[in-house]
Amino acid sequence: MSEARPTPSGSGQLPRAAQSDDQAGYDDRAQPWRFLALSRAYGPSRAFQVATKLGLFEVLRAHQQLSGGQGMAVAEVARALGLRADPGFRGVADLLDLLVAEECLARQGDGPRALYSNTPDGERYLCPGSRDYIGGLVIINCDRSYPQFLFLEDSLRTGVQPQAAQALVPDILETFGGDGGDAGAPARFAAGMTGANLATFVAFASKFDFSSHATLLDIGGSAGTLSCAVAAAQPHMRCVSADLPVLRGAATAEVARWGLGGGRVRFEALDFFAEAPFPAADVITMSMILHDWGLEKKLLLMRKAFAALPPGGAFVALDLIIDDARRANRWGLFMSLNMLAEFGEEGSFDYTFRDFQGWASEVGFGRTELLRLGGPASAAVAYKDG
């Protein structure tokens, strides 16, 4: 993409971006546009989050199914979502067209006659009921992560979020355990984690060498999706998803959704910080678990995994592992700030593979390797000698 640069003052020429209707011109990476775009990135993100929470993509799918593939007009969308629908109000049209510009929606026609529908990717990833649905995470980001980031300055100054932030967002540990008075919160959070990590789990299930292993234990397994992905891709593997008792129902439903009967995937209630040792397994995984904690608890979890593994066994941490130079994986760095917001008093942080290698050596593991799993996600693997 060529850079659009303003011409010298008095030339009588407009910048190329202002002359062209080419989308690339509007997304110019030249300065100062890049900095301005970064400062406004919250806007499209928040609009997408709110649209997902409102159920826009689900409403469009239902309409298309009933109408034989027809899209919805702005007023129809507004009425279906309980939004302002009078003809002089442009907010809903602006929201829909922003999502068209972000390639989240498709549009036929212009103006009042425009009809909006889901893109194929929107059908796949943003409509509940799809195997690849990620909307649960989008809603967590809408209701939890975004409000917490409003108080990032406080977190950076003090290491913890102020009372005002805690009043907006339920405590994460209460959400995990179902202790916050909302019985459905753990299952909703589990659904969000499934959406966030499904592609990572599928990639791990095919890329990791399971040929010399027979059993897998997923610590903090949430809805059991990692175990299901491995069992589906590796028919010889027997998998256990271990998490707090409130997740049993979500895990049972996930196993049924994958059609994995015969006990190849089962749920086991486990508090991974309890004094009891981990159950034995050939492979022990932790997905988006190790990054939740400070160094002391990271090492504790790795030592418990080491003790439960046989010689030749593998411990695998799946996270948005930051590149060693700390320059490229911006989502891993973002996630580390997110952990500061969620677990400030724990001293939580995301980490590099070099960090992981140091901890693995300290715990007693031998060989380590890094598996890139797509996007910002990776698996850091440590093997027990023998």
The DSSP code sequence of 196-241 is HHHHHHHHHHHHS--TT--EEEEET-TTSHHHHHHHHH-TT-EEEE
Q: Which of 63, 213, 236, 291 is catalytic?
A: 291
Residues 6+ apart with CB under 8 A from 316: 204, 208, 283, 284, 285, 286, 379, 380, 381, 382
Neighbours of 303 (CB within 10 A): 14
Backbone angles phi, psi at 256, to 5 degrees: -65, -40
Q: Would you give the DSSP letter of residue 290?
A: G
Paired tokens of 304: 């418990």
291 a catalytic residue? yes
Distance CA 109, CA 131 (A): 31
Unique residue bearing structure tokens 């059993």: 215
Phi-psi region of 161 (alpha: psi -120 to 50; beta: other; left: phi over 0): beta
Distance CA 27, CA 153 (A): 28
For residue 112, the model assigns a pLDDT of 84
For residue 98, the model assigns a pLDDT of 97
Distance CA 60, CA 91 (A): 18
Splitting the chain (386 residues) into consecutive groups of 10 residues, what average pLDDT does each group show? 35 36 66 89 96 97 94 96 93 97 96 94 93 91 92 92 85 66 76 87 97 98 95 97 92 92 92 96 97 96 98 98 97 95 89 98 98 97 96
CATH number of 170-384: 3.40.50.150
Is residue 224 within 8 A of residue 203, CB to CB? The reply is: no
Beta strand spans in 41-182 (E): 105-108, 115-118
Output the pTM of the full model.
0.86
Distance CA 106, CA 117 (A): 5
Distance CA 140, CA 191 (A): 10
Q: Would you give the DSSP letter of residue 150?
A: T
Which residue, among 278, 285, 281, has the nearest Cα to 228 in the 3D structure?
285
CATH class of the region 40-126: mainly alpha
| 162-170: long-range contacts, CB 8 A cutoff, minimum separation 24 | 165/341, 169/143, 169/144
For residue 23, the model assigns a pLDDT of 54
- Burial class from Cβ neighbours inside 10 Å (0-12, 13-18, 19+) for residue 276 reads exposed
For residue 5, the model assigns a pLDDT of 33
For residue 20, the model assigns a pLDDT of 41
Distance CA 59, CA 80 (A): 7
- Residue ranges per structural domain of the chain: 40-126, 170-384
For residue 24, the model assigns a pLDDT of 54
- 262 alpha-carbon distance from chain centroid: 30
